[in-house]
Amino acid sequence: MSFRFACLASVIALSPGSAAVAEQSFNRIASFATPANMAAGQDTAHETSAEIVDATADGMTLVYTDSPLGVIGRIDITDPANPKPLGNVKLGGEPTSVAIIGNTAFVGVNTSESYANPSGYLGVFDAKSGAEKARCDLGGQPDSVAAAPDGRFVAIAIENERDEDLGDGRTGQMPAGFVVLIDVADETLACDSLRKVDLTGLAEISPEDPEPEYVDINADNEVVVTLQENNHLVLISKAGEVLADFPAGRVTLAEIDTQEEGALVFSDTQEDLPREPDAVTWIGTDHFAIANEGDMDGGTRGWSIFDRAGNVVYDSGNAFERALVEIGHYPEKRSGNKGVEPESIAFAQYGDVPMVFVGSERGSIVGVYDVSNPAAPVLKQLLPSGIAPEGILPIPRRNLLITANEKDEGGPRAHVMIYQLGEGPAKYPQLTSKGTDDLIGWGAISGMAAGEDGTVYAVNDSFYAMQPTIFVIDTKTTPARITDAIRVTPGGRPAQKLDLDLDLEGIALDGRGGFWLASEGNSAKQVPHALYHAAADGAVDKAVPFPAKLLKHDVRFGAEGMTRTGDTLWIAMQREWKDDPKNTTKLVAYNTETGDWGAVLYPKDKVKRGWIGLSDIEAHGDHVYLVQRDNRFSDAKVKQIARVSMDQMVPAALGTDLPVVTKEVVHDLIPDLKANGGYVVDKIEGLAIFPDGTAWVSTDNDGVDDSSGETFFWTIGKLN
């Protein structure tokens, strides 16, 4: 793509021993939601996407492919911190890739009637105006498009992909794929120069049916091609001659999680897996890197570097995936199917440092590697990408990095994310388990409680139903660090053999070294609404079910947070139960000595869209503090910390008229969330307050399931 080997600004030196050079980091500065490019009157609820992205020569305009809408979208990033929509361009087909030369976008468009009758064209568009300039018929279904660094030609992978629902879904379905090369002069296609490169007979796997997936071109005008399903790699000259080809190879992985059982257990081995690479990028002219996403039989959860002779000079093994585990981005629900799935990869040089960027489709992270030594890359950063990064674009001359994220969940929409390289530390991750003797996997952080000496205790929710855990967090480090994971074991039984389902949402210290835990029940699934007492080692020694007077009015949304004041546990109920007046929810009290229950009513804010609920409660001084949130994302209105005076926290008996307390909002969390540069996440879940009033807040990342996986864990300073 046009900036891969562009003129470079001399801005950083990340090499070891450069103590005199200021610390440099990529940090996200903005995000652009793809519905913003839809025209007035269009249904913005329609699925949209951002997949492959490139930039004009001046680095001021982005063009991305949007398959669901059948358009290319355009963004003005003259001010990268404030991207502006330039609108969509309809294509009459499905865009699959884009590469830009100068101000001209070359777009692969799939117009296939069926898998058996593939077709497509390469469209030429003015990136700034959107005007179509030309098109060339490609004779098949295009996938990846790449532009030569000198702007003299483009390469297109014609995949002619198989129908995965046909027969056994394997290769050997005609017609075969190929590569197309087309000359470019003055940013104009010379369609009559089209050269079709036959790739049949090269791969060991289905040699009759090559399915080229991705192409890239180096400064010597050599094309590297991945044949993902064939597990093969091919080098091609500008003239269309096959220069070399070789298998992508196989890998054995140890200490990985292959079971989707609601627990993070990294003790499995998979042997002899084909890499089955997706994206590929040249590193100079002597090496190239591949993202080993996998397809039919493989995917090795990492990435590799080859030399041009086909020798593997580096393979990440399980290291890339384990780095994601440590920051809470491991997608447990994909354990049985390729784990973090590295799909996208790109190379650029920033200053003196050559860098490879690796995108995890399922972990929603971009790894930043220093590849000064291609045989020993160094992981420098892990960037939060938004959901499912599909395209990565370095723009080194502007110190920018762009990701295109294809997943459109309706709440968190598909986004283009913008990062800037500058002085200062990385702002993400904000919580990690890196540095422990044993690997600690984590996610879905819910309730929190403050301990001593800067320690916070946090629980995970039912996403990890087979592994309920109390995490010990040291807030004195940056980022905050999980130092221990205490498994909660009802009846002393191992986490994988629980005889009791738990949905831990609240935690309070018992004052004697143990814990009280609040579990949000679900009567429809026979999960009880209850409190549990656990010893310091997590062994549950007491269960306290909610009383009948409370349960007869139950709904799904129960205990979401808990705190202790003396002998009384206060439990924040997330939303109304059947007996609650509209726009209120209960704060339920349980006396651990007498066994008495009671409650007061908390008045929730009103919103026009979605709902309002409570997420946590923490006692401090003369007040209890509560997290109140709506379930909205970038259109959120209520993400707050409110407080109630302790003199109002006098529980009335259940079944009687409950008093309504008065709240005071003391902190708006929406500006804090916007400061992260991405979309506003919906789930503020945890609150912990130390004796000096310093408050810490956390978000729930939903176990990286249809989520960006981002966990924000930060202090808002001292509360009065």
Largest distance between two CA atoms of the chain: 89
Alpha carbons 668 and 558: distance in angstroms, whole number: 24
Amino acid 563: pLDDT = 98
Query: Could you tell me the two tokens for 687?
Result: 């609150």
Stretch among 135-149, 496-510, 599-613, 647-661 having the lowest mean pLDDT: 496-510
CB distance 266 to 325 below 8 Å = yes
Contacts (Cβ under 8 Å, ≥6 apart) of 643? 623, 624, 625, 626, 663, 664, 666, 719
Amino acid 395: pLDDT = 98
Asked if the domains 24-41+68-423 and 431-436+443-718 are classified in one and the same CATH topology, the answer is: no
Question: Coil, strand, or helix at residue 497?
Answer: helix
Q: Count the neighbouring beta carbons within 10 Å of the beta carbon of residue 79.
A: 11
CB distance 421 to 429 below 8 Å = no
Range 471-483 average pLDDT: 98
Range 106-116 average pLDDT: 98
Amino acid 66: pLDDT = 98
- Counting beta carbons within 10 angstroms of the beta carbon of residue 295, is it exposed (0 to 12), middle (13 to 18) or buried (19 or more)? buried
pLDDT(482) > 60: yes
Alpha carbons 109 and 70: distance in angstroms, whole number: 9
Range 661-677 average pLDDT: 98
pLDDT(632) > 70: yes
pLDDT(10) > 80: no
Alpha carbons 245 and 203: distance in angstroms, whole number: 8
Q: Which CATH architecture has domain 431-436+443-718?
A: 5 Propeller (2.115)
Domain boundaries, the chain: 24-41+68-423, 431-436+443-718
Tell me the per-residue pLDDT of 376-431, one tens digit each, with 9 for 90 and over.
Answer: 999 999 999 999 999 999 999 999 999 999 999 878 999 999 999 999 999 999 99
Amino acid 527: pLDDT = 84
Torsion of CA 637, 643, 649, 651, to 10 degrees: 20
* DSSP character string of 438-482: S------EEEEEE-STTEEEEEE-GGGTT--EEEEEETTSSSEEE
DSSP 34: G
pLDDT(497) > 70: no
Q: Which CATH architecture has domain 24-41+68-423?
A: 6 Propeller (2.120)
pLDDT band at 317 (very low <50, low <70, confident <90, very high): very high
pLDDT band at 88 (very low <50, low <70, confident <90, very high): very high
Range 525-544 average pLDDT: 93
Alpha carbons 415 and 33: distance in angstroms, whole number: 4
Residue at token pair 């001399």: 10
Residue at token pair 């384990």: 322
Amino acid 21: pLDDT = 59
Amino acid 525: pLDDT = 81
Amino acid 23: pLDDT = 86
